[in-house]
Structure 1
Amino acid sequence: MSRDPELPASAYAEVPPPADVRDRVRRVWRYQSGAAPAAPLILPDGCVDLIWDGARLFIAGPDQQATPAQLAPGATLTGLRLAPGVAHRLLGTPMQALADQRIAADAVIGPRAGVLERRLLDGADPARTLLAAVAERGVQPDPRMAWLFAQLSGPDAPPLPELARQLGLSERSLHRHCLQAFGYGPKVLDRILRLQRWLRLASGAITLTRAAFDAGYADASHLSHDVRRLTGLTPTALLRDHGH
């Protein structure tokens, strides 16, 4: 494996993974909480994370809504955000079984989780150890679901029926594949990725409404409805606290 990424020391930091696992890992990240208990709001992003918290290895399944993470003072989390379309293959389970859950890794991947936890408890570097475990598996993402995620993440995302047609799938079959790969159907995935697209655009836009149009929302009320539905916040509050 290539040289491990260097993670800066800060409250939250993320870096790209080494080149040889970028088809399976989207980001390597670390979160360090402060002296007081913390409950950072985790926004849905269509992804699944493998996380070490210093005592246990767990999986953060795909969220359908923003979820506060309850962290003890001084907690340090190291995680891998898995690439789109790979989690169900890497973990050997359909993602709808893990949706909106934080679950011990051994309940999903069995004895392999125990081996990893022992190495981590013995002082192995968390990011290096988790990356090596992913590299050893040798699984590849589902190319159709990776392509779908990329299409829905980009500007001018085509309508879902058109994407299904391009994939050679019926809309019912597309829904089934999305449940397995992402934990929810394509309409929910589209809504989540549109929100993420708006967050990327909003910080540099002239107005939030202009960013909403560019992200694919019909109007400002459509944006407000989806933001409240997914996060419980107003667009202004979401951008203030979670803008890119």
Structure 2
Amino acid sequence: MSSRAYTEWRPALAPGRQVACLWTRRNAGGAEYGQLVVPDGCVDLVWSEAGLEVVGPDNAPRSVPVRSGAELAGLRLRPGAGGLLLGEVPVRELCDRQVPLAELAGAATAERLGERLARAPGLREAAAVLDAFAASLVPGRPPDRVVERAVAALGRAQGARVPELAAELGLSERQLRRRVTDAVGYGPKTLHAVLRFQRALAFARADRDGAVAGDGAVAGERERERGACADRCAAGYGAGAGSGLAEVAVRAGYADQAHLTREVRRWAGVPPTVLLGRTARPGGAVGQDSGAAS
């Protein structure tokens, strides 16, 4: 059995429209490995031996070392919901950054939360403390309904043209771009590309499991490094057998398989067969994750 374990589940207290999931990661005595983290437009609050940190959206893939014995608990916010943690700080300022919670919420708040986390008997209980903390912030930081509508429109397979979307939301194109960039960290065009990439990964996993895939970037129960694509990779995504990828490309909203391949290389740094192959080998050196690994 692999010493690595990643689990996520829906929040019990914080609203699902803002919090996508709670998660834990453990490397119980195994060798240090590099965790591939790919862009998903989300903001994470992570608790580890380094303390409490807020991880902003990524613009490119990165490999994060996970040391032997590492234990982490986290909370992942949906694209556009970063204001729940950041308040008035634009999410764009945290792109490709990982900063202490104390810099955003104040030293006293971070210290009190850290003390509660330290008393938690286990990782899942620690994640529940993060859930309660996020829920406590909701009354003073309601979601931005305009941003929610923009993210939903841009998350559709065919996306939405900026001029039409701006008019629908009662904004100028410039106002829409600024508002989305401040709230998500990406402009509308980039956000659409990231959500489409995540949707393709979700379809690939769902095909293997016989499930119906939702939007991969905001789904609350994504399966990252548990080999969810193993059978599909072997049957349809291997070298010389591109029918599976072609189908996923069409369903996810890409022009064709070549378009999907280019975009996967852009967001994951590797071709689809390699990315899915990594997902299919949970015991290998590198897994695939769509969020912060810290």
TM-score normalized by the length of structure 1:
0.88
Q: What RMSD in Å do the two structures reach over aligned CA positions?
A: 2.2
The answer to whether the 8 A contact 2:6-2:23 is kept is yes
Higher mean alpha-carbon deviation, 178-187 vs 203-212, is at 203-212
Q: Which has the higher contact order (CA 8 A, sep 6+)?
A: 2
The answer to whether the 8 A contact 2:92-2:185 is kept is yes
**What is the DSSP-based 3-state SS (H/G/I as helix, E as strand, rest coil) of the residue aligned with 1:187?**
helix
The answer to whether the 8 A contact 2:42-2:57 is kept is yes
- In structure 1, what is the Cα distance between the partners aligned to 2:251 and 2:277? 19
Query: Displacement, 1:220?
Result: 2.2
- Pick one of 202, 205, 209 that aligns with 2:204: 202
- Pick one of 196, 204, 220 that aligns with 2:257: 220
- Pick one of 146, 151, 154 that aligns with 1:152: 154
The answer to whether the 8 A contact 1:49-1:61 is kept is yes
Q: Does 1:79 align with 2:77?
A: no
Q: Which amino acid aligns with 1:143?
A: R
The answer to whether the 8 A contact 2:166-2:172 is kept is yes
The answer to whether the 8 A contact 2:14-2:131 is kept is no
The alignment covers a number of residue pairs equal to 236
- Pick one of 23, 26, 31 that aligns with 2:25: 31
Aligned to 1:115: 112
The unaligned stretches of length 5 or more in structure 2 are 208-235, 237-242, 281-287, 289-294
The answer to whether the 8 A contact 1:66-1:231 is kept is yes
**What is the DSSP-based 3-state SS (H/G/I as helix, E as strand, rest coil) of the residue aligned with 2:53?**
strand
Deviations 1:81-110 (A, max 9, x none): 013322124322111110011111112221
The answer to whether the 8 A contact 1:201-1:215 is kept is yes
- Pick one of 87, 95, 98 that aligns with 1:99: 95
The 3 A distance-change label for structure 1 pair 143 and 10 is farther
Query: Displacement, 1:71?
Result: 1.7
**What is the DSSP-based 3-state SS (H/G/I as helix, E as strand, rest coil) of the residue aligned with 2:59?**
coil
Higher mean alpha-carbon deviation, 169-178 vs 144-153, is at 144-153
Deviations 1:121-158 (A, max 9, x none): 34463112111111111222111212222233333433
Query: After the TM superposition, which residues 181-200 of structure 1 pair with which residues of structure 2 at under 5 Å, given as runs?
Result: 181-200=183-202
Query: Displacement, 1:63?
Result: 0.7
The 3 A distance-change label for structure 1 pair 68 and 180 is same
Q: Which amino acid aligns with 1:105?
A: L
The unaligned stretches of length 5 or more in structure 1 are 1-8
- In structure 2, what is the Cα distance between the partners aligned to 1:202 and 1:20? 29
The answer to whether the 8 A contact 2:45-2:52 is kept is yes
Deviations 1:204-242 (A, max 9, x none): 285211211221111222212211111111011122234
The answer to whether the 8 A contact 2:14-2:132 is kept is no
Aligned to 1:5: none
Aligned to 1:56: 51
The 3 A distance-change label for structure 1 pair 15 and 221 is same
Query: Displacement, 1:20?
Result: 4.9
- In structure 1, what is the Cα distance between the partners aligned to 2:252 and 2:172? 26
Q: Which amino acid aligns with 2:6?
A: Y
Query: Displacement, 1:22?
Result: 1.7
TM-score normalized by the length of structure 2:
0.74
Higher mean alpha-carbon deviation, 129-138 vs 145-154, is at 145-154
Query: Displacement, 1:54?
Result: 3.8
- In structure 2, what is the Cα distance between the partners aligned to 1:242 and 1:97? 31
The answer to whether the 8 A contact 2:40-2:58 is kept is yes
